[in-house]
């Protein structure tokens, strides 16, 4: 392991490192999937917003619960249930925050600031951008070269593009 990576692995988690996680990626893809799933139902921005928020909260709660139970059940960790819940909460924050910006866009459609279709497509494309930023930052935090960061950006953003392709195929 390079000295850059060794040094970065010893750094205390920052708010960015807490939010740039696998949960952030999963949450963003989940939001995109919920937007796509609402398409065939001809859902409005408001209905899509409610579906996304409800689903994200349920998935986040299940993820946090599973993480806490799994962590507290490991005898080698010696972690109590309270500490396991706190750690699971911190590690899963990216799941919730990944839904914030797309939900704001959906609310703009729900309140008729922008047309429904524009809000829904913008929220989907915003997911691609969020995934790209997450991918880039993950590799930047690891101290990778700019080329690897760009490849990480494109690879992560590809999950969001897959949601857009699904939406296009469904419609």
pLDDT at 1 over 50: no
pLDDT tens-place string over residues 94-153: 888 989 999 999 999 999 999 988 999 999 999 999 999 999 999 999 999 999 999 999
Burial class (CB in 10 A: 0-12, 13-18, 19+), 132: buried
pLDDT tens-place string over residues 45-94: 899 999 999 999 999 999 999 988 888 876 565 678 888 888 888 888 88
- Provide the 3-class DSSP secondary structure of residue 80: coil
Cβ atoms 131, 64 nearer than 8 A: no
Rounded distance between C-alpha atoms, residue 109 and residue 79, angstroms: 45
Rounded distance between C-alpha atoms, residue 77 and residue 62, angstroms: 22
Residue 12 is predicted with a pLDDT of 44
Q: What is the pTM (predicted TM-score) of this model?
A: 0.80
pLDDT tens-place string over residues 7-44: 444 334 455 656 688 889 999 999 999 999 887 667 88
pLDDT-based confidence at residue 5 (cuts at 50, 70, 90): very low
- Provide the 3-class DSSP secondary structure of residue 12: coil
Rounded distance between C-alpha atoms, residue 168 and residue 42, angstroms: 14
Burial class (CB in 10 A: 0-12, 13-18, 19+), 143: middle
End-to-end alpha carbon distance in the chain: 47
């Amino acid at each position: 392991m390079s000295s850059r990576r060794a040094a970065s692995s010893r750094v205390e988690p920052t708010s960015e490192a807490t939010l740039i996680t696998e949960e952030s990626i999963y949450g963003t893809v989940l939001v995109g999937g919920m937007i796509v799933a609402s398409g065939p139902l001809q859902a409005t921005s408001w209905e899509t917003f409610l579906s996304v928020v409800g689903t994200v909260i349920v998935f986040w709660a299940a993820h946090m619960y599973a993480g806490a139970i799994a962590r507290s059940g490991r005898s080698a960790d010696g972690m109590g249930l309270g500490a396991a819940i706190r750690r699971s909460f911190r590690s899963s924050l990216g799941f919730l925050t990944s839904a914030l910006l797309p939900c704001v866009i959906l609310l703009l459609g729900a309140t008729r600031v922008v047309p429904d279709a524009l809000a829904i497509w913008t929220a989907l494309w915003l997911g691609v951008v969020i995934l790209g930023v997450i991918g880039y930052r993950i590799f930047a935090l690891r101290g990778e070269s700019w080329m690897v960061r760009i490849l990480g950006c494109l690879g992560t953003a590809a999950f969001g593009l897959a949601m857009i392709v699904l939406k296009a195929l469904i419609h």
